[in-house]
Amino acid sequence: MSSRETIVNGAVRVRFAPSPTGALHLGGARTALFNWLFAKHFDGTFVLRIEDTDQERSTQEAVETILKGLSWLGIYWEEGPRDGGPFEPYFQTQRLHIYKKYAEQLIKEGKAYYCYCTTDELKKEREKAAKNKAAPKYNKKCRFLNAEDAKELHVSRRNKVLRFKMPEEGKTIFNDLCRGEVKFENELLDDFIIMKSDGFPTYNFAAVVDDHLMEISHVIRGDDHLSNTPRQIQIYQAFGWNPPHFGHIPMILGKDKARLSKRHGAQSVTEYAKEGFLPEAMVNFLARLGWGHKDQEIFSRKELIELFTLDKVTNSPAVFDSDKLTWLNSHYIKESLPERIFDLALPYLEKAYPKLKLDDKDAAGIAYLKKVITVLQERLRLITDIVPASEYFFKDITSYDEKAAAKHFKGEETTKILEDLKRSLSELKTFDKPSIEDVFKGLAEKLKVKLGGVIHPARLALTGRAVTPGMYDVIEVLGKEKVIERLEKAIKFMG
Ligand code: GLU
């Protein structure tokens, strides 16, 4: 019977098992998140296992960035690197003795065999298959060697690998928690290698041994692994072990329906952090890549944990939409406490405006910066937007937006408005938003112009720009001295 309902009997234990051959990209981060949400939903355990058996491509640096990426997303592992756990070690290269032991068991039971074929021989086979337009498949030569030949080759050939004896007929059928029933003809599955000549296991073998020993109940991973699953199930069966439940989540495509490339989404999550994205925006965004709940877009972490189940994972590929990520980011920036945005924005501001360098004692400087950030927070899409958005708070005005100047700097008429404004503002005892607002309104009334007739030239004079946050807020933050100085400068500019 096929059902997509999540089956939970016993403790839920899931794992994220990255190969440290590069940073944590969106696809991997989403797999980690789905596993983590699933674990939290069922009060289970999230295990992190580093699959570093590809000696040439695995690096310590990649391990570090993966751990950093997960931590940034707030995806914490109960068992794994650093803190260990009851099934340690959690690095596959530290478990080689374990794989060896289980491989020997399969040999002893006649379920695996040594293959002595040389790379050259295998290459020729593959070429032959390609010529006949057949799928490349090992010809099982060594499976059927007679005892004498096998003995001789065992001594004479140094580079032997271990292959799994795949059943030659029948089907491997399993119930995928995201896709329903999936069937594979065993005949099409190869006698695949389980141990390489250097004594390292292959992914399919090591993953099964570890998932079994680590008591993993549900394997949730990208559907690029779907074709590995029947192979893995056959290994479970060879050992007489119960396989876990499997759920394969759909791949992520770009808007152009092509696989993710560097241009969209193939960058690492830590790069997104550097570009000014907030982790909760990223988590919300990733959660919606192939999963959904009604037409809701914004989910808190708590809601995600409450609502996340695999039957709501879609069957069709998820589409990466960077505009949506930016939209979510501006939402979460708006929702954040100003103190947090201050902490996040400060390094970018200090880099952009070296004169700004604040130390803890510079109370006035810190207060000014806090006010600047509070005024701009609503408008930031990315934390890094703070730099261009705040320029006029830190630098003198050296030019005026041309289009706006043509429209709002109307010679004598404007000079008079700005002169009046300067006078009234300089007379203010308390330089705060309500008093500033009163000045503008009073002036518009007195001069019999619309409020905009005062605000637009003032904005241009004070910021050089046509668009800014609310004028009264900006003026309050800039402070009397800068405001007067800039009004004078604009008056002079108009001659
Ligand atoms: N190391 C594999 C990968 O990074 C893990 C696949 C799995 O989850 O089984 O793709």
pLDDT in tens, 229-284: 999 999 999 999 999 999 999 999 988 888 876 555 568 999 999 999 999 999 99
First to last CA, the chain: 85
Ligand 1 pocket residue status of 19, Cβ below 6 Å: yes
Alpha-carbon torsion (218, 219, 223, 227), positive or negative: negative
Q: What is the pLDDT of residue 362?
A: 84
Domain parsing of the chain, residue ranges: 3-81+206-253, 102-195, 397-495
Percent of the chain at pLDDT above 70?
97
Domain 397-495 CATH (choose: 3.90.550.10, 1.10.10.350, 1.20.1250.20, 2.70.150.10): 1.10.10.350
| Distance (Å) from CA 208 to ligand 1 centroid | 11
Q: Please give the number of the atom of ligand 1 that sits closest to the Cα of 207.
A: 9
**Confidence class for position 361, pLDDT limits 50, 70, 90:** confident
Q: Which amino acid is at 101?
A: K
Tokens for 132, please give them: 């006949």
Query: Residue 480: is its pLDDT beyond 70?
Result: yes
Catalytic residues: 262
Query: Residue 385: is its pLDDT beyond 90?
Result: yes
pTM value is: 0.93
**Confidence class for position 360, pLDDT limits 50, 70, 90:** confident
Q: What is the pLDDT of residue 135?
A: 83
**Confidence class for position 359, pLDDT limits 50, 70, 90:** confident
| Distance (Å) from CA 287 to ligand 1 centroid | 19
Mean pLDDT along residues 402-422: 95
Q: What is the pLDDT of residue 5?
A: 63
Q: What is the pLDDT of residue 9?
A: 74
* pLDDT, tens digit, 9 for 90 and up, residues 155-201: 998 899 999 999 999 999 999 999 999 999 999 999 999 999 999 99
H or E stretch at 162 = strand 161-164
Q: In terms of Cα–Cα distance, which of 249, 266, 259 is closest to 316? A: 249
CA distances from 117 to 163, 167, 190, 193, 385 (A): 11, 21, 15, 12, 59
User: Using CA atoms, how far apart are residues 164 and 355, in angstroms rounded to an integer?
Assistant: 66
- Contacts of residue 241, Cβ cutoff 8 Å, sequence gap at least 6: 212
Q: What is the pLDDT of residue 1?
A: 40
Mean of the per-residue pLDDT values for the chain? 94
- Residue 358: CB atoms within 10 A of its CB come to 15
Instruction: Choose the residue to mutate in 14, 25, 51 for probing ligand 1, maximizing ligand atoms within 8 Å of C-beta.
Output: 51
Ligand 1 pocket residue status of 139, Cβ below 6 Å: no
Query: 102-195 adopts what CATH topology?
Result: Glutamyl-tRNA Synthetase; domain 3 (3.90.800)
**Confidence class for position 2, pLDDT limits 50, 70, 90:** very low
Ligand 1 pocket residue status of 52, Cβ below 6 Å: no
* pLDDT, tens digit, 9 for 90 and up, residues 25-73: 999 999 999 999 999 999 999 999 999 999 999 999 999 999 999 999 9
Query: Residue 435: is its pLDDT beyond 60?
Result: yes
Ligand 1 pocket residue status of 211, Cβ below 6 Å: no
CATH number of this structure's domain 3-81+206-253: 3.40.50.620
Query: Residue 290: is its pLDDT beyond 90?
Result: yes
Query: Residue 411: is its pLDDT beyond 90?
Result: no
- Contacts of residue 180, Cβ cutoff 8 Å, sequence gap at least 6: 2, 3, 4
| Distance (Å) from CA 305 to ligand 1 centroid | 23
Beta strands of 351-489 (E only): which ranges?
A: none
* pLDDT, tens digit, 9 for 90 and up, residues 116-153: 999 999 999 999 989 999 888 899 999 999 999 999 99
The residue count of the chain comes to: 495
| Distance (Å) from CA 181 to ligand 1 centroid | 21
Ligand 1 pocket residue status of 225, Cβ below 6 Å: yes
Ligand 1 pocket residue status of 50, Cβ below 6 Å: no
